[in-house]
A = this chain, B = another copy of it.
Amino acid sequence: MQSHIFESYFGKYIDISPEALEFLNASFQEMNYSGREMIVESGGYAKYFYFVLSGVQALYIINEKGEKVILGFSFKGSPSGAFDSFITSKPSHFFLEALSPSKLIGINKQKFDELFERFPEFYKWRALFMEDILLGRISREVEITTMTAKKRFDAFVKRCPPELLEIPQKYLASYLNMKPETFSRLRALRD
């Protein structure tokens, strides 16, 4: 694995010692998923924490009607995983699915825990990283609780990363907490 990957993922927040870098190199493994392949099943355990090298993945739950409700996407450069389960070591409430052929690097829970035991300075990364994730989630929460479908759509269009233009728009609709029909109608208003 190329070390510069870890520089970009961890180095944003902390300096990585050569020993730690070696440990990371030895602990992360590359994993490939085909499009439409499940990475974590709800009810199963999230065994890995990932960084994405390519492809798009969706984190979702299934509601009472059996519909996917998408909480977020990950793609090149993002962290990925079913954090609830990975953090708590309890069965996941979420599904994590590759929406397109995906290359990820993952570290298992045991190695992840070992990382912090052996290199406690990584807790700084973990704290700042979690803060970033938290701020992102809060900002989605605010959008969903305060904005109309149209506003959410417009705001999303402005910030939509190119990777997400490749996936079926019904997933984008779900992420924006609206039906595909609504998404389509809002789209028609624009272009």
Q: Establish whether residues B142 and A71, one from each chain, have CB atoms under 8 Å apart when the complex forms.
A: yes
- Report A49 CB to chain B, min CB distance, Å: 12
Q: How many residues of A contact B (CB 8 A)?
A: 31
Q: Are B138 and A137 in contact, with the CB atoms below 8 A? A: yes
Nearest B residue (CB) for A14: B123
B126 and A93 within 8 A (CB): no
Q: Collect the chain B residues with CB atoms within 8 Å of residue A88's CB.
A: 135
Report the nearest B residue to A61, measured CB to CB.
B142
Q: Is A124 within 8 A of B120, CB to CB?
A: yes
Residues in B with CB closer than 8 Å to A120 are 120-121, 123-124
Closest Cβ neighbor of A64 among chain B residues: B146
A26 at the interface (CB under 8 A from B): no
Give chain B nearest CB distance to A76 CB in angstroms. 23
A46 within 8 Å of B (CB atoms): no
With A126-B127, A130-B127 already in contact, the answer to whether A138 and B71 are too (CB < 8 A) is yes
